[in-house]
Structure 1
Amino acid sequence: MSTTPDLIDLAPDCRVPVLWKTSARARRLSVRIDPRRQAVLVTLPSGFPRTQALDFLKSQTRWINRRLAPLQQAPAFLPDRTIPLEGKPHTIIHQPAARGGVWIEGDKIFVSGAEEFITRRVTDFLRARARLTLGAELRAMASTSGLHPARLDIRDTSSRWGSCSSSGRIMLSWRLVMAPDLVRHYLIAHELTHLRHMNHGPAFWALVDQLTPHRRQAEAWLKQHGPSLLGAQ
């Protein structure tokens, strides 16, 4: 896959970054948004003409613009920027001479050390907090529901907030630690329900609604704000 996006003019005054990937396993052209790179990722089957792919991209200009636009509001882990933590805004404050790495005081996140390490240090801090917060919330709901996963993995995914394997292993994105309580509650309920129903049939949704009252509100929040969290860095 190309590591540097090509800037493609899809329409007048519409230039977007495009990453190209050729896959021998791909059976058809696929297009998705890469939130980390804030670019369009195009996967081509072997031998697929790029000119044909470009024509398809141009036909999807409105769809692409709608999905790239929210990424421009993605939180940046930089000094004096405000990022959400458990749904509440916190401002990143750089204190280069201080000790302690990263810590929270009120609505501020303090970061010590050299400025070039701030993004990595904040990311590491949020990952660690996600493991503690999401782990505690998962255990609490597992205890009350009787649905116990074999394991919890905290990962960084580009499009999925969570998953549940047939072996009972649940994965949650560390970026959920930035989301409000009700969103985390819903997504944990969603993945725990997959321990009983490995589908999205009526019985699945009925159990989700037993475990959490927040489904509709959380889904609406994720639709509006989820893309920006996936692009946070």
Structure 2
Amino acid sequence: MGHHMLTGNPPVALTLRHSARARRISLRVSGLDGRVTLTIPRGVSEAEALAFARSRADWLRGHLEGRPGQMVVGIGCDLPVEGEILRIVPGSGRRVQRAPGQLCVPGPEESAAARLEGWLKARARDRLAAASDHYVGLLGRRYTRLTLRDTRSRWGSCSASGALSYSWRLILAPPAVLDYVAAHEVAHLAQMNHSPAFWAEVARLMPEYETRRAWLRREGGALHRYRFGN
């Protein structure tokens, strides 16, 4: 993959992706973090593809307007944790502690983001494992393993071998939304597709799933704005 910056106000950063399978030049704005990908088919020059992107520059800027900017997490900033906005403050002792309206992070300020990321991932694993176990019990199936990732393209996945994978950033969302993603992926253990039969399984596991799915589509992208120093 390559990178290019479209000049203008504001400039637009492009990720260039060469594809042997694509049939035409395409521009895609990620609904999660606003990244812009320019896909270049075989036989098309980068110059031709970039000319196409420039012709769509105003359209791109329209799609990118109003997107939340990146926020580097550290002492003094606000962070959503399980749907509640908490202020990150210095803490004492050895562990990150949650207090009313606050998250207390001990140790040197420069290591706060890494400490916090570790704490959030551990909490995400506990919550996602508990939610997955709950829905697997309702479904009467089993999963083989559970892994956490920081994927921008999807909130969860289920492999044909029954391995569940989730974005650890779900711990930033309201608990009901995390539960929805767990129910969605567990339902794939019965239906490895998005057919009406699959959605019927999701509805059986979580009758009110549609409002939680709508929250994720509407608000989920903002969960990727928080950077933990990497």
TM-score (norm 2): 0.84
Partner residue in 1 for 2:127: 133
Select the residue among 100, 105, 117 that pairs with 2:94: 100
Equivalent position amino acid for 1:180 in 2: P
Structure 2 alignment gaps of length 5 or more: none
Q: 1:153 aligns with which of 122, 137, 147?
A: 147
Q: Count residues with an aligned counterpart.
A: 225
> Matched residues in 2 for 1:75 and 1:145: separation?
39
Q: 2:22 aligns to what? A: 27
Where does the alignment leave 5 or more consecutive residues of structure 1 unmatched? none
* Residue 197 in structure 1 maps to residue 194 in structure 2: no
Does the CA-based 8 Å contact 1:147-1:195 persist in structure 2?
yes
Residue number among 40, 45, 50 corresponding to 1:54 in the alignment: 50
Contact 1:183-1:221 at 8 Å conserved across structures: yes
How much does 1:34 deviate? 6.2
Alpha-carbon distance between aligned partners in 2 of 1:15 and 1:48, rounded to the nearest angstrom: 24
Report percent identity of matched pairs. 33
The aligned amino acid for 2:85 is P
Conserved in 2, the CA contact under 8 Å of 1:75 and 1:83?
A: no
Measured after TM superposition, the shift of residue 216 of structure 1 is 1.7
How far did residue 176 of structure 1 move?
0.6
SS at match of 2:11: strand
Identify which of 70, 80, 83 aligns with 2:67: 70
Counterpart of 2:145, as a letter, is: R
Query: Cα deviation per residue 1:154-211 (whole Å; 9 max; x = unaligned)?
Result: 1111110001111111111101111112211211111111111111111111111111
Aligned partners of 2:113 and 2:31: how far apart in 1?
Answer: 17
| Kept after mapping to 2: 8 A contact 1:186/1:214 | no
How far the C-alpha of 1:21 sits from its partner, in A, is 4.0
Between 1:46-55 and 1:180-189, the stretch displaced more is 46-55
SS in 2 for 1:70: coil
Q: Is the 8 A contact 1:26 1:43 kept in 2?
A: no
Structure 1 contact 75–228 (Cα < 8 Å) conserved: no
Note the alpha carbon deviations across 1:92-127, whole angstroms, 9 max, x for none: 1134xx441522222211222333322222222111
Change in 2 beyond 3 A, CA 1:134/1:67: farther
- 1:39 to partner: Cα distance: 3.7
Q: What amino acid does structure 2 have at the position aligned with 1:54?
A: L
RMSD of Structure 2 on Structure 1 (CA)? 2.6
Q: Is the 8 A contact 1:6 1:18 kept in 2?
A: yes
Q: Aligned pair 1:230/2:213, yes or no?
A: no
Q: Which runs of 4+ in 1 moved over 4 A?
A: 33-38
- How far, CA to CA, are the matches of 1:158 and 1:190 in structure 2? 17
SS at match of 1:13: coil
Q: Which residue of 1 aligns with 2:175?
A: 181
The separation in 1 between residues aligned to 2:196 and 2:115, in whole angstroms, is 43
Conserved in 2, the CA contact under 8 Å of 1:94 and 1:111? Answer: yes
- Displacement, 1:68? 6.4
In the TM superposition, residue 213 of structure 1 has moved relative to its aligned partner by 2.4
Letter of the aligned partner of 1:116 in structure 2?
E
User: Alignment partner for residue 80 of structure 1, among 72, 76, 79?
Assistant: 76
